[in-house]
Chains A and B, each alone.
Chain A
Amino acid sequence: MILVRVVRADDLEALFELATRTGRGMTSFKPDRAALTQRIERVRRSIEGTAALAEQGYLFVMEETESGKVVGVCALEAAVGMTQPFYNYRISTVVHASRELDIWTKMTMLNISHDLTGYAELCSLFLAPDARVAGNGALLSKSRFMFLAQFPERFPQRICAEMRGHFDAQGESPFWSSVGAHFYQIGFDQADYLSSHGKKSFVAELMPRYPVYVDLLPPEAQACIAKTHQDTLPARTLLEAEGMRFENHIDIFDAGPVLESHVDTTRAARESLLVPVELNEHAPAGGVKHLVSNTSLHDFRVILVARAPQDGVLRLTREEAAALGVTDGGESQAVQSVVRVLPLYPKERKS
């Protein structure tokens, strides 16, 4: 069975091994034992409530319960930009109009912004290639919305997620070549690395301080604006299904879109249900896939169950209940667990 759970200290080696497989473009999850140790420690303090808001963050791993192998990782930062500024371009509109000449021109501008400061961020999602089978990517990504729905008091009102931007066949970002390269004078990878490792002062020193007129940029740079990297499109689709939307913020280096939402308007917050569990070895499988999470902060877990709640209870097999660490309490209903349940995919809209 596949399970998503909060990271533990003993996941270090497994995370290190997983990080060696990420390659380019995963700047926030690198095979660096010291950094990973710190990150796990940070999660522990966040859960215990001893971390300041600026450093609160949660890391989740995907585990194969039979082998105990860690095959995926994803993260949730509680509030970005609280120590180092969180930079984006905000896309804004300026209309230049003259009645005298009968001219009306709508110009699009990029403004450096810190609008997303204090937002929670969905980030660092990586699934090992051999674990990329149906449902796993969705479970891994969406598990974070179950956590948000369960513990909204631990988060600000809004969340965001940065999508990788467009890169050409040579692996270059046309937006970087046309815009960033003129200002930052370093390579894209170096800029991306420094930025994701908290060394952002160069951004303030070198970034364009004035708004940039999009219409004056080369067409290939314009085409990159808010364009998602081909490999990231499935991830974007998953997030959009949960209610996240592109709201005119893009990355300052590759112009990739930022998806945003209010926590309380996410599908998980609006549509998930808290229901008691009932153990039943004969519970039918093969129904609609549901995300099911427990309500434990210290031992948060999410699995997929191919079954909907019925008559106000969710029937679970012994194996499913064990994976979630829940019980029906047997004779004593006082210790009967409740779980949060949400269909893995939203109902298809009828057109």
Chain B
Amino acid sequence: MLFVRPGRLSDLDQIEAMARAVRPILHSLPPDRRALEARLALSQDSFRADVDTPGEEFYLFVLEDTASGRLFGTASIVASAGYAEPFYAFRNDALIHASRELKVKRRVHALTMSHQLSGKSRMTGYYLDTMIPPELDGALIARLLSRARLMFIAQHRQRFAPEIFTVLVGITDDKGVSPFWEAVGRKFFKRDFAEIELASGGRSQTFIAEIMPSYPLYVPLLPPDAQRVLGEPHPNAVQPYSIHVEDGFEPDGFVDIFDAGPVLTANVAICETVRNGVQRRAIRSGEALNQGTPYLVANALTDEFRCALAYLPNPLPGQSATPLPADVALSDALADCLLLANGDRIRCAPLNPPGERP
């Protein structure tokens, strides 16, 4: 069984192996053992800390196979993007250029360096191994890994900002060349994308303010191939993109400053996984159901947070999305995995948001 839990320093070897496998390279999962170790340490401290308002916490989750102990993925949350520093993104504004006399009217888009995402919580560092056990449904596992973070956020709202966002990797070719970087970033940095991407950490470094354009960039003046990739996810990011969109995240007019990858934003409260989640009590009941509706089930712990998939009985037709009884029967295997005793509090949310279900 695959489940999501907080990463530990003892996971470092496996996380490093994953970081080295990620393509394209993510600044949020750098192939750098010391950086990863620092992040794991920060994450452990963050899960243990008593937090009442989001600060510099960073939460790193891993996807583990109970049978082998092997990790198959990782995903993280930055409690407050940029924290004490600004978090930079390009805001894509439409400017109306109209002349009544000439009877012309046009929307001219311009990209402006914006700090507006600063302080919002950021979902990042998503990586799912392509070698997950073949008997498992990859689409379900991807949603488990991505949405487990929302299950954690739902139970620890005070640890996060009311608004969350994610920046997905933009288009690069097989040599790692980003057409947007070539047209914009390179002109300012005079360096390769990968080099600056790693140096940039979380889009908050002082050098971004020093180097990147202080005035808006007119989109129609950019080369066509740079315009085409604006807000487009890399093929490897299409699945995470749809998972977020299903949850109610919206491409809200921001793109990444380096590769123009899409930025998706959402209000935590109206996020499907948060909104449709319910608190129940767990009842250990032997065998697992193999049919019903796939649910995310998470325990109510912090440092020992765990989230896994379970099939729970189908809601009756016409009923709301939360028909679960007060006591939810879970298999012993799942209850063990989630560290649950009879009567422990759990949170359940449909894996696929209502309306997405077949």
Q: Which residues of A contact B (CB under 8 A)?
A: 94, 96-98, 100-101, 103, 105, 107, 109, 178-179, 182-186, 199, 201-202, 205-206, 208-213, 215-218
CB-based closest 6 A-B pairs: A182-B220, A98-B207, A205-B99, A98-B210, A185-B104, A202-B99
B96 and chain A: residue at smallest CB distance: A205
Residue pair A216, B221 in contact (C-beta under 8 Å): yes
Q: Which of B53-61, B183-191, B288-296, B306-314 contacts A (4 or more CB under 8 A)?
A: B183-191
Q: Once the chains bind, are A216 and B220 in contact (CB under 8 Å)?
A: no
Tell whether, in the assembled complex, residue A202 and residue B102 are in contact, meaning their CB atoms are under 8 Å apart: yes
Q: Which residues of B contact A186 (CB under 8 A)?
A: 102, 104
B216 at the interface (CB under 8 A from A): yes
Once the chains are docked, how many angstroms separate the CA of A199 from the CA of B100? 13
- Contact, CB under 8 Å: A105 / B104: no
Is B238 among interface residues, defined by CB-CB distance under 8 A? no
Q: Could you say which of A97, A109, A206 contacts B97, with CB atoms under 8 Å apart?
A: A206
> Knowing A178-B221, A182-B108 touch, does A205 contact B97 (C-beta < 8 A)?
yes
Indicate if the CB atoms of B222 and A103 lie closer than 8 Å.
Answer: no
Other than A105-B189, A182-B108, A216-B183, give 10 A-B pairs with Cβ distance below 8 A.
A98-B210, A100-B207, A103-B210, A109-B215, A183-B106, A184-B104, A208-B218, A209-B95, A213-B187, A215-B187
Q: How far is the CA of A280 from the CA of B188 in the complex (A)?
A: 69
A218 and B101: CB pair below 8 A? Answer: no
Cβ of B132 < 8 Å from any Cβ of A?
no
C-alpha gap A179/B108 in the complex (Å) = 12
Is there contact, CB below 8 Å, between A183 and B97?
Answer: yes
Contact of A185 among B102, B183, B213, B221 (CB under 8 A): B102
Taking the nearest CB of chain B, how far is it from the CB of A193, in angstroms?
A: 12
A105 to B210 Cα, complex, angstroms = 10
Chain A residues near B189: list those with CB within 8 A: 101, 103, 105
State whether A100 touches B206 (Cβ < 8 A): yes
CA distance in complex: A178, B222 (Å): 9
Residue of A nearest to B196 (CB): A101
The residues of A that contact B187 with a CB separation of less than 8 Å are 105, 107, 213, 215-216
- Give complex CA distance A98, B212 in Å: 10
B101 adjacent to A202 (CB under 8 Å): yes
B223 CB contacts on chain A under 8 angstroms:
218
B42 at the interface (CB under 8 A from A): no
Chain A residue with the shortest CB-CB distance to B104: A185
Distance of B196 from chain A, by nearest CB (Å) = 8
Q: Which residues of A contact B190 (CB under 8 A)?
A: 103, 105
Residues of A within 8 A of B216 (CB): 210
Asked whether B214 is an interface residue with its Cβ less than 8 Å from the other chain, the reply is yes
Whether the pair A96, B104 counts as a contact (CB closer than 8 A) is: no
CB B54 to nearest CB in A, in angstroms, measures 27
Partner of A206, one of B104, B191, B210, B212: B104
| B215:A211 contact, CB within 8 angstroms | yes
Which positions 188-218 of chain B face chain A at CB distance < 8 Å? Answer: 188-191, 196, 199, 205-207, 210-218
Residue contact A97 to B214, C-beta cutoff 8 Å: no
- Most chain-A Cβ atoms within 10 A of its Cβ — which of B99, B190, B191, B205? B99
**B221–A97 contact, CB under 8 A?**
no
When distances are taken between beta carbons in the complex, the residues of chain A under 8 Å from B213 are: 96, 107, 213
CA distance A186 to B102 in the complex (A): 8
Closest to B98 in A: A205
B110 in the interface, Cβ–Cβ < 8 Å? yes
Contacts of A208 in B (CB 8 A): 108, 218
Q: A199-B101, A211-B215 are in contact. Are A179 and B207 (CB under 8 A)?
A: no
The smallest C-beta distance from B104 to any residue of chain A, in angstroms, reads 4
Contact in complex: B191, A103 (CB < 8 Å): yes
- The A-contacting residues of B in range 94-146, CB under 8 angstroms, are 95, 97-99, 101-102, 104, 106, 108, 110
**A206 to B104, alpha carbons, bound, how many Å?**
9
What sequence of 0s and 1s flags, for each residue 39-69 of chain B, a beta carbon within 8 Å of any chain A beta carbon?
Answer: 0000000000000000000000000000000
Contacts of B95 in A (CB 8 A): 209
| Contact among B99, B108, B211, B220 with A103 in the assembled complex (CB-CB below 8 Å) | B211
Q: Which among B95, B212, B218 has the highest number of chain A CB atoms within 10 Å?
A: B218
A-side contacts of B97, CB under 8 Å:
183, 185, 205-206
Complex Cα–Cα for A211 and B216 (A) = 8
Cβ B207 vs Cβ A103 within 8 A: yes
CB within 8 A of B217: which of A105, A179, A183, A213? A213
| Chain B neighbourhood of A179, CB < 8 A | 221
Docked-complex contact A101 and B207, CB < 8 angstroms = yes
Tell me the chain B residues, 206-257 only, with Cβ under 8 Å from chain A: 206-207, 210-218, 220-223
